[in-house]
């Protein structure tokens, strides 16, 4: 248990737990609403936002949140009923990523390469490098995201499962969709600090996908998704601590993928459950 004597590990655990909780909750709805691709696009926007902030001399996190939330609003405005089509999203996000490379070059050439690995850190995360202030802020923001998701969970679930009926019942479907996208944006910015912009999709999709395989009941699946995400985060951090060759982001992703694979195998065969959509 010597791990807890290292401040960096405690900070990583604090931030990681909160971020995983938020990612598990948001991820469940992301999978339910079949918006995983949107989460992917947002995650890549995070890269450009962070590097643009660095290149212009601001705090990395300012750029992260500004870029992801802004992009979420744009997506919500673009798409019909907040569900933009794949090619348009893909093209836009690919270009934004290209812009990120531009900022990366700008940053590494103009600022005397003070932080040559900045690009790699943003892409693949550096959870063991968080300071206590950064970890606390990340935990607070993640807590706010969790509370907001729980507050809108009921109407959002209704709107996600049956949009037409929800609209007829006067549920503000469009507003909920936009609010949800903003939550995904904030969550993407959070997760970037833990596992990096490239891997946060796994943190969003894997626990949620596994939870949906294991149970059909929405609230159980929501809780299970959050629980799995936190457990995977802890296991990943521990694994990376005891096997220093493994980068923490890889360890977390590996555990998450293994759990998802186990869930897939467990629900295979004649006992395979029906998806929620058919219920």
Binding site for other proteins (CB under 8 A): 31-34, 36-37, 39-40, 44, 86-87, 90-95, 97-99, 101-102, 104-105, 109, 116-117, 119-120, 123-124, 198-206, 208-209, 212-213, 245-247, 249-250, 253-254, 256-257, 260, 264, 274-278
Q: Which is nearer to other proteins, 40 or 64 (CB)?
A: 40
How many residues are listed for the chain in this entry? 279
Q: Where are the alpha helices (DSSP H) in the chain?
A: 7-32, 36-56, 60-78, 86-110, 118-124, 132-161, 163-168, 173-195, 200-214, 218-242, 248-266
Cβ neighbour number for residue 242 with a 10 Å cutoff: 10
3-state secondary structure of 136: helix
Q: How far is the CB of 34 from other proteins (least distance, A)?
A: 4
Q: Which is nearer to other proteins, 144 or 158 (CB)?
A: 158
Q: How far is the CB of 256 from other proteins (least distance, A)?
A: 7
Q: Which is nearer to other proteins, 97 or 178 (CB)?
A: 97
Two tokens, residue 150: 């729980």
21: Cβ contacts below 8 Å, ≥ 6 apart: 142, 146, 226, 229, 230
Q: Which is nearer to other proteins, 129 or 143 (CB)?
A: 129
Q: Which is nearer to other proteins, 105 or 132 (CB)?
A: 105
Q: How far is the CB of 138 from other proteins (least distance, A)?
A: 20
- Give CA–CA dist 230/24, Å, rounded: 8
Q: Which is nearer to other proteins, 36 or 62 (CB)?
A: 36
3-state secondary structure of 83: strand
Q: Which residues pair with 83 in a beta bridge?
A: 80
Q: How far is the CB of 179 from other proteins (least distance, A)?
A: 19
Q: How far is the CB of 5 from other proteins (least distance, A)?
A: 25
Q: Which residues pair with 80 in a beta bridge?
A: 83
Token pair 């998806």 is at which residue? 275
Environment class of residue 267 by beta-carbon count within 10 Å: exposed (0-12), middle (13-18) or buried (19+)?
middle
Q: Which is nearer to other proteins, 76 or 125 (CB)?
A: 125
Q: How far is the CB of 252 from other proteins (least distance, A)?
A: 8
Q: How far is the CB of 102 from other proteins (least distance, A)?
A: 4
């Amino acid at each position: 248990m010597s791990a807890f004597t290292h401040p960096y590990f405690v900070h990583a655990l604090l931030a990681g737990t909160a971020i995983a909780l938020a990612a598990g909750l948001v991820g469940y709805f992301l999978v339910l609403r079949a918006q995983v691709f949107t989460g992917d696009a947002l995650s890549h926007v995070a890269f450009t936002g962070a590097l643009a902030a660095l290149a212009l001399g601001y705090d990395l996190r300012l750029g992260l949140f500004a870029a992801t939330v802004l992009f979420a609003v744009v997506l919500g405005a673009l798409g019909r009923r907040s569900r933009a089509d794949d090619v348009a999203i893909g093209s836009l996000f690919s270009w934004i990523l290209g812009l990120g490379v531009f900022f990366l070059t700008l940053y590494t050439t103009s600022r005397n390469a003070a932080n040559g690995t900045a690009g790699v850190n943003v892409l693949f995360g550096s959870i063991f490098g968080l300071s206590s202030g950064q970890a606390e802020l990340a935990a607070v923001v993640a807590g706010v995201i969790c509370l907001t998701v729980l507050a809108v969970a009921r109407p959002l679930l209704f709107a996600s499962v049956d949009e037409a009926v929800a609209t007829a019942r006067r549920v503000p479907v469009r507003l909920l969709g936009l609010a949800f996208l903003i939550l995904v944006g904030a969550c993407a910015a959070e997760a970037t600090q833990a596992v990096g912009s490239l891997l946060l999709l796994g943190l969003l999709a894997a626990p949620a996908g596994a939870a949906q395989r294991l149970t059909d009941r929405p609230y159980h699946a929501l809780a299970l998704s959050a629980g799995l995400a936190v457990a995977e985060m802890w296991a990943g951090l521990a694994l990376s601590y005891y096997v220093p060759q493994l980068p923490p982001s890889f360890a977390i992703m590996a555990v998450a993928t293994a759990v998802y694979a186990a869930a897939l195998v467990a629900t295979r065969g004649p006992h395979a459950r029906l998806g929620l959509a058919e219920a």
